[in-house]
């Protein structure tokens, strides 16, 4: 079974974003332009809009116009938009607009103003509706129509995509369309990343993802337990910015998105908080204010897509076992059983796959684990002398100098090996990588005094340690 969600991402060591000017954080403002693209019977929808307005908890009116809802959305186009335009123009802040194609078509003056101000106009889909129950064919058709209408209205095709009210197919459909420099229908990270998908020819293709946000977002003025005042909004944005700025100062620069809606933040009682935050951000030196298209192009230049070697979670059974069947010495059954687990991108690292293999080993019977222990060779024993070790064991023993013992040292190892096997019924096992001969001998002499139960547990731990070291030579950390 394969689990397609990626719960690992960049892991403990994200890449250095290399923001221009050594910025500690990249701050990006999005203005969502949805007014005129929302659910409305005038647009051919079955019911009125019920999402993100002053009417918290609104229900759709089936077959009827909702005059209050319509007028709230109209406020965003008629008043809120211009207030935001003036704020960002006066502050010299670059903006990305997520523009719903049908909304843009109904607002030519606003489109012209965006273009004059140098805003990036990305696509926010054809209509501001929920796609979770749409067929993939219907959603694809709307995506294609959105690109077409966007071009007709703005004079250029969109290079960024964010649908927002998505289905499970949205990101893949946008990636397969092939014309977007970035897709933002994810909230999974604070840095851009590459999404891989299989093209119609079966070849793996990349799509740059620039994650978006629902927390640093004025939509929470329109949700239960959200922001009740501008002060709360400002405090949350400031705390987010301060945290990211400090992390960037300490070598982990990331990205802060702020999501805005003309009908929400465009109200006079809220926009003052936004202005305070803009001024606060601009009072810091190490900040890169950018449009999303600027981020996309920066990331492609400094972190271009690099095709990955065959990943464990994408391998077929035979390839998987051939590649990892020797991680546990002469015990391919460990890899065979691990293949049947719920592997995902989280298992494509050394630590991730190690966890899966160890699950199988730990779940095995004591007799099966004993056979794994017995499969290990003696240290500097007869198999080593006859050059009949596995390639992995040969490299490991050589790294500790066990292939170059003096006669006296070899005699001592032979004596200890025999005594150990007689006592416990399996060879002495230790992860020798990084250890000296003296350290190995000291461990040998100490552990031979353990009880069998203690030594069986210790030997199993060392088998797992050896497996991890082997995987680290094969997979990303």
Helix segments in 308-349, DSSP class H: 317-324, 332-339
3-state helix, strand, coil in the chain (%, to 5): 50, 10, 40
What is the C-alpha end-to-end distance of the chain, expressed in Å?
Answer: 23
Two tokens, residue 227: 């922001």
User: Residue 444: CA atoms inside 13 Å, Cβ hemisphere, count?
Assistant: 23
β-strand pairing of 160-161 with 254-261: unpaired
Packing angle of the helix pair 332-339, 350-363 (nearest 10 deg):
100
Instruction: List beta partners, residue 99.
Output: 33, 123
User: Residue 448: CA atoms inside 13 Å, Cβ hemisphere, count?
Assistant: 18
**Which residues are within 8 A (CB) of 21 and not within 5 positions of it... i.e. 6 or more apart?**
286, 288
β-strand pairing of 204-209 with 193-198: antiparallel
Residues acting as catalytic residues: 376
Instruction: List beta partners, residue 286.
Output: none
Q: Which helix (H) or strand (E) holds 44?
A: none
């Amino acid at each position: 079974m394969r689990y397609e969600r990626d719960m690992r991402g960049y892991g403990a060591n994200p890449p250095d974003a290399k923001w221009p000017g050594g910025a500690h954080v990249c701050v990006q403002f999005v203005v969502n332009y949805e007014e005129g693209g929302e659910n409305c019977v005038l647009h051919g929808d079955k019911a009125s809009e019920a999402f993100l307005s002053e009417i918290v908890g609104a229900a759709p009116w089936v077959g009827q116009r909702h005059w209050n809802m319509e007028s709230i959305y109209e406020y965003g186009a008629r008043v809120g938009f211009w207030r935001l335009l003036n704020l960002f123009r006066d502050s010299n802040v670059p903006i990305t607009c997520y523009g719903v194609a049908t909304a843009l078509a109904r607002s030519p003056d606003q489109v012209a103003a965006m273009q004059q101000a140098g805003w990036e106009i990305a696509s926010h889909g054809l209509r501001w509706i929920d796609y979770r129950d749409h067929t993939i064919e219907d959603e694809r058709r709307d995506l294609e129509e959105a690109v077409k209408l966007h071009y007709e209205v703005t004079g250029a095709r969109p290079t960024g995509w964010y649908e927002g009210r998505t289905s499970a197919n949205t990101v893949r459909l946008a990636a397969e369309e092939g014309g977007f420099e970035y897709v933002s229908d994810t909230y999974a990270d604070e840095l851009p990343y590459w999404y891989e998908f299989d093209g119609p020819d079966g070849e793996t293709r990349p799509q740059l993802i620039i994650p978006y946000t629902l927390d640093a977002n004025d939509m929470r003025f329109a949700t239960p337990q959200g922001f009740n005042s501008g002060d709360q909004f400002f405090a949350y944005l400031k705390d987010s910015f301060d945290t990211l700025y400090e992390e960037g100062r300490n070598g982990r620069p990331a990205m802060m998105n702020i999501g805005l809606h003309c009908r929400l933040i465009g109200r006079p009682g809220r926009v003052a908080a936004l202005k305070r935050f803009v001024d606060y951000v601009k009072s810091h030196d190490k900040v890169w204010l950018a449009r999303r298209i600027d981020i996309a192009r920066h990331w492609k230049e400094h972190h271009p897509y690099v095709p990955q070697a065959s990943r464990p979670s994408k391998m077929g059974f035979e390839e998987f076992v051939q590649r990892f069947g020797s991680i546990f010495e002469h015990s391919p059954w460990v890899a065979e059983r691990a293949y049947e687990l719920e592997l995902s991108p989280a298992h494509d690292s050394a630590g991730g796959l190690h966890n899966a293999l160890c699950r199988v080993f730990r779940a095995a019977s004591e007799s099966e684990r004993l056979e794994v222990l017995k499969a290990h060779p003696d240290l500097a024993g007869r198999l080593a002398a006859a050059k009949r070790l596995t390639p992995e064991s040969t490299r490991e023993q050589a790294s500790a100098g066990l292939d170059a013992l003096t006669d006296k040292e070899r005699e001592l190892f032979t004596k200890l090996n025999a005594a150990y096997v007689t006592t416990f019924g399996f060879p002495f096992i230790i992860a020798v990588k990084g250890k000296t001969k003296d350290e190995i001998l000291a461990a040998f002499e100490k552990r031979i005094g353990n009880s069998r139960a203690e030594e069986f547990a210790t030997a199993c731990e060392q088998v797992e340690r050896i497996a991890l070291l082997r995987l680290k030579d094969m997979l990303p950390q």
